[in-house]
Amino acid sequence: MDKLEDLLAELEYSVIQGEIENIIVTDVVMDTRKLIKGCLFVCITGANFDGHTFAEEAVNKGARVLVTEKDVSLPDDNDAVVVRVSDTRRALAYISCAWFDYPAEKLNTIGVTGTKGKTTTTYLIKQMLENAGHKVGLVGTIETIIGDKHIASLNTTPESLTLQRYFSEMVEAGIDSVVMEVSSQALMLHRTDGFIFDYGVFTNISPDHIGANEHKDFEDYLHCKSLLFSQCSVGLVNGDDEHTKDILKDATCKTESFGLNDGNDIQAYDTELVNGGSYLGVKFKTRGLIEADFRCDMPGRFTVYNALCAIAVCRHFDVSAEQMNDALQKAKVKGRIEMIEVSPDYTMMIDYAHNAMALESLLTTLKEYEPGRLVTVFGCGGNRSRDRRFEMGEVSGRLSDFTIITSDNPRFEEPQAILDDIETGIKRTDGEYIKIIDRKEAIAYAIDNAKPGDVIILAGKGHEDYQEIKGVKHPMDERVLINEVMEESGMRHA
C-alpha cells in the first residue's frame, strides 16, 4: 500500500473531487475485473473500449481513487477521489513506476526498437551478458523471462503496469540487467514512460504497422520509434539505415553507430557466408571501437547487423570479444531462423516469416548460400487477407525450388480453401509444388524426400506452439512434429 500523494509525485494533475492527503491506495488497476476495495483505477481510453465508461462500476466495487482525462459519471454520495490528468496512459506509466518503487533504477535497462531484428537482437544481448556473468531478464514478442520463469507474451511491449511489475520481480529475483523490445505502439502509448533506459538501440526501419489502429503513415511510425532516443542515456544505432538521421533528430542522448559502411563507430568488414552442412552462418571482422573476429551460426547479411547491435551494447558492459563470439555461436532464438539438427547432409530451419515481404527476404538470403534445393513448407492463416496468400504463394513459387503448401492457423476457414488460394499465387510462377493439408505429414514429406545439400525452411509458425482451428488453440509445436517424424521413420534426431 502507498500514499496517493507519493504515486502522483511525478505528475501534473488537478483534484476534481475529494482530498488526496492521507489517502492510502491498496492497488493500482486498469482492468475492471481486478478492482479491489481501496484501489486506484486508471481510466484508459483504448481502441475498442473507454475506461471512463466504467467509472461508476469501479466506485461501486470499491475503487477509492479514479485517475481520468475527461469527465466521468459517478454514483450519488460517493467518496471517491477523482484526479484529472492530460493523458491517463502517461499517468499510468508514472504511477506504476512509483507503485513498484522505481525498479528500473535498480536494473541496467536496454531497449531495442526497429522494424526487423528486435527479437533476435535481444536474445543475442542476453546470451552475451550471461556469458560474462550477468543475470539478465528479457521482455519481448515471444516471451518475458524472469530467472527460470517464462511468460508467453500478448504484446511486444506490455502495458506499463505489467512492465513495471515484471521489472520489480526481476529485482526480487536478483537480476541485474533487462533487455527488452520496445515497439512503436508502446512508445506512442507511453508504456515505457516514467524511467530512462540506460541504452536505447535502433536496428532499422521500413514501412510497417501502418493502419487505422496503429500509425496513420510512415512519418508517424518513424516519429514514434524516435521517441526512444529522448528516453535513454546512450543511443546505439544502425548507421547504415537511411532514416537514422531522422530517428536521431530530436535525440537527447549520446550516440554511437554500427554498420557495414565506412564512418560507423563499429564497422563490420570481410563478411563471409558459412555453410556447415546442417547449419548456415556468417563470419566477419570488426574495427573501430572494438576490433575482433566473429562468427554467428545464423544465416544472412541481416544477422551481421543483429550481431553488431549486440556487440555495440555489450561492449559497454565489459564483455570480452571471446565471450561475445562464444554467445554468437551458441545463440538460438525460437522461431527466428532456428536451425533444427536433423541430418548432416541438409539444413532444416524454422522461421516466423508469415507475410510476403518477410518470406522474400528470408528466401533471398538463403539462396545466397547456393543450396542444392531450397524447399519451403508453409501455409497462411485463416480469416486474414486472401491477398497475403496469393503473394506468399507467388514469392515461394518464384524463389523456392520446391514448395509444400500446408495448413497454418485455419481459424474459422476451411484449410483446403486456404491452400487453394496459395496455389493460385504459385501458379503465377513456374515453381514446383505439392499440397498436403496436415502439417505433420507435410514435414514428413520434406524429410523423406530431402536430398544432400538441401535447405528446408518451415515458415510461418515460428515460435508458436499451437494451431488455431475454429476458435480452439490445439497444441502443435513444429519441433515436436519433427521429432515424431524422425522417430516414426526410424531415424534418430541428431
Spatial CA neighbour of 178 closest among 135, 207, 141, 217: 135
- The predicted model gives 303-327 an average pLDDT of 97
* Residue found under cell 484501489: 39
Strands (E), 182-328: 197-202, 232-238, 254-259, 266-275, 280-288, 292-296
Percent of the chain with pLDDT over 90: 89
Q: How far apart are CA 344 and CA 45, in angstroms?
A: 54
Provide the pLDDT for residue 16: 95
Q: Which residue type, as a one-letter code, is found at position 406?
A: T
Strands (E), 127-215: 136-139, 143-146, 149-152, 177-181, 197-202
Spatial CA neighbour of 286 closest among 256, 243, 248: 256
- Asked if pLDDT for residue 293 goes beyond 80, the answer is yes
- Asked if pLDDT for residue 209 goes beyond 70, the answer is no
Q: What is the pLDDT of residues 401-444, one digit of tens each?
A: 999 999 999 999 999 999 999 999 999 999 999 999 999 999 99
**Residue 290 backbone dihedrals phi, psi, to 5 degrees:** -145, 135
**DSSP code string of 26-41:** S-EESSGGG--TT-EE
Provide the pLDDT for residue 492: 46
Q: How far apart are CA 187 and CA 224, in angstroms?
A: 6
Q: How far apart are CA 227 and CA 99, in angstroms?
A: 24
**Diameter of the chain measured on Cα atoms:** 79
- Residue 274, C-alpha cell as written in the block: 558459412
Question: What sign has the CA pseudo-torsion 10, 14, 20, 21?
Answer: positive
Pairing of strands 254-259, 232-238: parallel
Q: Are 397 and 389 in contact (CB under 8 A)?
A: no
Q: Which residue type, as a one-letter code, is found at position 485?
A: V
Spatial CA neighbour of 38 closest among 55, 17, 23: 23
CB atoms within 10 A of CB 82: 20
Q: How confident is the model at residue 366 (pLDDT cuts 50, 70, 90)?
A: very high
Spatial CA neighbour of 327 closest among 356, 355, 305, 307: 307
Q: Are 158 and 31 in contact (CB under 8 A)?
A: no
Q: Are 157 and 180 in contact (CB under 8 A)?
A: yes
- The predicted model gives 32-58 an average pLDDT of 93
Q: Are 227 and 208 in contact (CB under 8 A)?
A: no
Provide the pLDDT for residue 181: 97
Provide the pLDDT for residue 318: 87
**CA distances to 143, 323, 442 from 408, in Å:** 21, 38, 11
Collapsing DSSP to helix, strand or coil, 312 comes out as helix
Q: Are 272 and 299 in contact (CB under 8 A)?
A: no
Q: How far apart are CA 283 and CA 298, in angstroms?
A: 10
Sorted by sequence, the CB contacts under 8 Å of residue 469 that are 6+ apart come out as 409, 410, 411
Provide the pLDDT for residue 216: 66
Q: Please name the helix (run of DSSP H) or strand (run of DSSP E) that holds residue 346, with its range, or none.
A: strand 346-351
Considering the chain, what is the average pLDDT of its residues?
94
Q: What is the pLDDT of residues 337-363, one digit of tens each?
A: 999 999 999 999 999 999 998 999 999
The model carries a pTM of 0.92
Q: Are 319 and 311 in contact (CB under 8 A)?
A: no
Provide the pLDDT for residue 489: 82
Q: Are 362 and 302 in contact (CB under 8 A)?
A: no
CB atoms within 10 A of CB 411: 17
* Residue found under cell 536521431: 248
| Domains of the chain listed by start with CATH number | 2-99 (3.40.1390.10), 103-330 (3.40.1190.10), 338-488 (3.90.190.20)
Q: How far apart are CA 48 and CA 26, in angstroms?
A: 28
Q: How confident is the model at residue 214 (pLDDT cuts 50, 70, 90)?
A: low
Provide the pLDDT for residue 360: 96
Of residues 200 and 184, the one with the higher pLDDT is 200
